A and B are shown apart, each in its own frame.
Chain A
Amino acid sequence: MNNANKATLQLQLDRSANVRAVVKQFYIYVVLALIVLVFSVLKLDKTPLFGRGSFLSPDSVINLLRTAVPILTLSGAFTLLMISGYIDLSVGSALSLSAVVFAWLILNGFSFWPAILLTLMMGIGLGAINGYIVMKLRITPVIATLVTLNLFKGIARLIVPKGVSAIKSSATQTMPGWINDFARKEVFLGLPAAFWIAVLVIIVLVIVQRQTLLGKYAAAIGGNRLAAELSGINTVRMVWLLYIIVGFFAALAGVARASYMSLGDPLAGEGMELDCIIAVLLGGTAFSGGEGSVAKTIVGALIIACVTVGLMTVIPAFWQTVAKGSVLVGAVVLNHLLVREKVKA
């Protein structure tokens, strides 16, 4: 009798643990589906489900994916860094600076390839600076990257001439029209090259996280840095490399943003660090690192894109900050519940 009771209890425990595991595995897809559903049903009285002006119309979907390119490009690398237990708050400024530099190069007669290569090299440099300050000078990541956030922002604003808001056509210089091609011109399925590159980046980073040593090392460092060091991982070099990867993709995202807007706006990446954090938290990566999933972060990034674009059509602009803040706090709570459950199970 007693044994039977125990067995039932064990079964119940197993079952609830299983339920939790399943919830943890799939909730993010449900959240995304629900958000898409809500926004597409909202205007059903005015237009049919896939009709012109609705959330799911081909135009609107293409537009959504095009505007989501920067966060799709960046959030995967950001996840790897957070898995290793580190953070980079300067990504938004690095993105802005890259957008400004890329636009400045194009405006001053560079053609596409040299401009993008130089910008990406600069991105590597920005990441290397962050990595150096955090890993070599041993300044706390939050403080170090908050300071570089302001450094990069200052440089971006200095590059933009006095009296104008961004790098763009002026009386003496004209921005070539082809700057748009990268992030707007259709390549395949109505979507531009920048989007397909972002998809490629995501695939590569998912493989890096799941199949390569870098991915395993990142999780090991985030799980227990000392243990990782003692088992022979060069943590300084690994995390530095992750900072460089983040800087590189911040620059790529900046190029995409500059190309999309056909100007170099020093505010282009404002708040991108928060978007990345939200995406990572929604994706269930633990705050302290050690585990996480690039693929789920990307779903989180899509959620942010849907919420941003969807809300714009429903509520006035001055509600946006509250909305995003609520999403962030919601993501924090959700993440707390899920990660806690993991610890207990």
Chain B
Amino acid sequence: MDTKQVQKLLTGGKMSDESFITLFMIGVLVVAFGLASSVVPNFYKPQNMLNLITNNWFVVVLGIGVTFLLITGNFDMSVGGNIALTGVLAVYFCQGVNSAPNPLANGLGLPYPIAIGLALLCAMGVGAVNAFFIAKLKVPSIIVTLGTMMLARGAAQVITEGAQRNNGLPDVFGVLGSLGIPGTTIRLPVLVMIALVIVAFIVEKRTVFGRRIYLIGANPEAARLSGINVARYLTALYILSGLLAGITGVLLASETKSGMSSRGTGYEFDALVVTLLGGVSIAGGFGSVLGMAVGTIILSVVTSSATGLLLSVDWQFILKGAVTFIAILAQRFALDRRKG
């Protein structure tokens, strides 16, 4: 194949910019994985490859909501705090009434399904609060969601008195987190993640709702003039993001049978990083859930190879930052070249 053909393959054709960036990031992933395999012993083993995907299920679940919001040009930094709040609430609702002298062991004694339902409602409530400030009062999303992050985490700290609740829980509380495919390391949360990604992919590509999200991001004024109720879409997306954080919080709490006020610290940044790695642009209506999923695997290749090279945990902050910058610049460069 001569160079012209290659160029035509890259620039022409019917491939959209989004698919192009997703493919580009898959290429980056392959290269990163190859590099990591050649440096870190045993990196290429199937079990390790599986772990790369399964260990970060929560980032992908959060990333779905964050991706849709970022496509509309809005941030959600409250997901980490929301995870802590939902987990703590699920535990608090489930704990028996007057079961022990320790106040942290006493809860409301609700049946498990009701407790979970209420906790998820609260998570969606946090999303609704975000939506009210952002869609109705037009306050910048970054400031509002940083505020609700503090409120959610603060509420979790108040309920747990700054520590955690893990006493007096019924056995059924731990079931969700421990279910899985027998004989493998694949557990229920991973299956939830896969199901959610598939649903999100269909919503994004095949529904009116999904396509309108892109229009809102590309040009909110045009979206409004063409009859889209932008405020209602943003509200739906923030409540969705809250619900996803809630699901994550409930599953993590079930996995460890405890509600910790510090759980989920920094997850909002991870979710944002993988979204950016997946090629979502805040500048307007661009990006995809699939790209975000690829971004998550890239991030987990980078961080887990750093762990494999015995770098201290503190390196992860620097690695995440550096990878994000490189990804943003590389994607922009690639898109510019493609446009020619």
Q: Which A residues have a C-beta under 8 Å from some C-beta of B?
A: 87, 89, 133, 137, 139-140, 142-143, 146-148, 150-151, 153-155, 157-158, 162, 274, 277, 281, 287-288, 316-326, 328-329, 332-333, 336
Contacts and interface: CB of A to CB of B under 8 A. Distances in A.
B321 A328 contact: no
Contacts of A146: 269, 272
B151 A325 contact: yes
B209 interface: no
Contacts of A316: 161-162
Contact of B314 (A139, A158, A325): A158
A328 B314 contact: no
B283 A274 contact: no
6 contacts: A147-B321, A153-B317, A154-B315, A318-B160, A321-B154, A322-B157
B146 interface: yes
Contact of B147 (A142, A157, A332): A332
Contact of B162 (A137, A155, A317, A324): A317
Contact of A332 (B143, B149, B160, B321): B143
Interface residues of B, number: 43
A133 B150 contact: no
A101 to B, nearest CB: 15
Interface string B207-219: 0000000000000
A274 B149 CA distance: 11
A306 B269 CA distance: 30
A287 B157 CA distance: 29
Contacts, number: 111
Nearest to B144: A332
Q: Give 8 nearest A-B pairs by CB, closest first.
A: A154-B317, A322-B154, A325-B150, A321-B154, A318-B162, A154-B318, A325-B151, A157-B314
Given A329-B151, A332-B144, 15 more contacts: A139-B325, A143-B328, A150-B317, A154-B317, A158-B312, A319-B157, A320-B154, A321-B150, A321-B154, A322-B150, A324-B154, A325-B151, A329-B147, A329-B148, A333-B137
Given A287-B140, A329-B151, A318 B315 contact: no
Contacts of A326: 151
A331 B125 CA distance: 21
A328 B317 contact: no
Nearest to A273: B146
B147 A321 contact: no
B276 A143 contact: yes
B167 interface: no
B223 interface: no
B315 A322 contact: no
Given A321-B150, A329-B151, A140 B283 contact: yes
